[in-house]
Chains A and B, each alone.
Chain A
Amino acid sequence: MKLRLNTRQRYRLYSLLALMICSGLAVYLVILALKENMNFFFSPQEFSSLKPKVGTRLRIGGMVKKQSIIRAEGLKIEFVITDFKSELKVQYTGVVPDLFKEGQGVVVSGIFQDPHLLIADEILAKHDERYMPMPIERSVNR
């Protein structure tokens, strides 16, 4: 196998490249056609610019606004989801993920009720890619 290609090998190489380009193009076009659907959620900012109709099912991803969590009786919880440009109030009844707290990233899925209120039926916690040891005193107090 020398790196100089004879005619047959060159023909095969070109066919292979053409195959790869076509497959790449096909996938690119599919992704282009999907547009927004490739995204798992909208940000509150995108939500406010979209202005969806009441009754639409949506997924919104953002952060739990500080001091916005209100827990009612039973498992009812109300909080505000924000991306620091726009925000949206969320109501949820049920158990929230362990990581759920103020300042935590969340993805909420539910039905958009009146303007600025989402009745969620699923809350997922989204964490970032940082990994650090716990500060020593905190791990002792845990």
Chain B
Amino acid sequence: MKIIALKHFYSLSRSWMYYSAALCFLLGVYGLSMGFWGVPPDYQQGEAFRIIYLHVPAAFLSLGIYVFIGIQSMIFLIWRIKLCDLLAANSVGIGATFTLIVLITGALWGKPMWGSGWVWDARLSSELILFFLYIGLSGLRQAIPSRMPAAQASAILSVIGLVDIPIIHFSVQWWATLHQGPSLSQFSKPTIDPMMLYPLIAMIFSFFFFYVSLLIFKTRISIAEEKALL
């Protein structure tokens, strides 16, 4: 539990950051090379399906980062651990960017495949709302001048917004949507051929390690700023 002290996190996290960056790079090289060249075209979508290797990992991360922000916010609200607030604050920008990537790659994929770059179905609409939540979190924190109230307000907003996550995830199962159902779910066999699946899993982890190393990098800067202000 020493880790929650900022100075311990600062020294321990340095190597984690470099290892994460290395893993991100290695998995990314495998995932992108296989995904964009190695894997054969899809029986139904042809070459265009390859954008899945950006779209799906970004989607996993956009949801996962928000859940992480929610958990950090809850811990912060109950125990007032400063590191949790720093981790949450530094995750918002990364999460928002991944959400934007999902929406844009989705539109680029949908226009040729579906015939439309955007529809107001449950999946797309709830993901757009998630993007607005991220922007709102950032705006709220910046709008409040004093440190502690800003942190508390952001934490509360992020917990309120957590309800969007299961909606996004289950939208394709609960309602009729244009977006297709899940190809990867916890309980059933994947509907993706293994040859196409392994680079996809690699990309998901690559994006994840990218997030981890960037988060640690940003948090270490925040910790250094704290030290400088004291």
Contacts and interface: CB of A to CB of B under 8 A. Distances in A.
A133 interface: yes
B40 A124 contact: no
A71 B221 CA distance: 64
A32 interface: no
Given A1-B81, A130-B192, A19 B159 contact: yes
Contact of B183 (A97, A98, A124, A129): A129
B178 A40 contact: yes
Contacts of A99: 44-45, 113-114
Contact of B113 (A39, A107, A125, A134): A125
Interface stretch (B24-32, B116-124, B201-209): B116-124
Interface string A105-142: 00100000000000000111111111111110011000
Given A1-B1, A5-B78, A131 B159 contact: no
A57 B116 CA distance: 19
B159 A16 contact: yes
Contacts of A61: 176, 178
A54 interface: no
Given A27-B163, A128-B181, A41 B176 contact: yes
B46 to A, nearest CB: 8
A2 to B, nearest CB: 9
A43 B79 contact: no
A100 to B, nearest CB: 8
Nearest to A24: B163
Contacts of B146: none
Chain B interface, DSSP helix/strand/loop, else mixed: loop
A124 B121 CA distance: 13
B180 A126 contact: yes
Contact of A127 (B1, B45, B167, B195): B45
A128 B52 CA distance: 14
Q: How large is the interface on B (under 10, 10 to 19, 20 to 34, 35 or more residues)?
A: 35 or more
Contacts of B164: 27
B18 interface: no
B196 interface: yes
Contacts of B79: 1, 9
Interface string A60-93: 0100000000000000000000000000000000
Interface in A22-65: 23-24, 27, 31, 38-43, 61
A31 B171 CA distance: 11
A98 B113 contact: yes
A40 B112 contact: no
A126 B45 CA distance: 11
Interface string B121-161: 11000000000000000000000000000000000100110
Given A38-B122, A38-B175, A130 B183 contact: yes
Interface of B: 1, 4, 39-46, 49, 52, 74, 77-79, 81, 112-116, 119-122, 156, 159-160, 162-164, 167, 174-178, 180-183, 191-193, 195-196
Given A19-B159, A23-B160, 11 more contacts: A5-B78, A16-B78, A19-B160, A40-B121, A124-B178, A127-B114, A130-B44, A132-B43, A133-B193, A134-B42, A134-B46
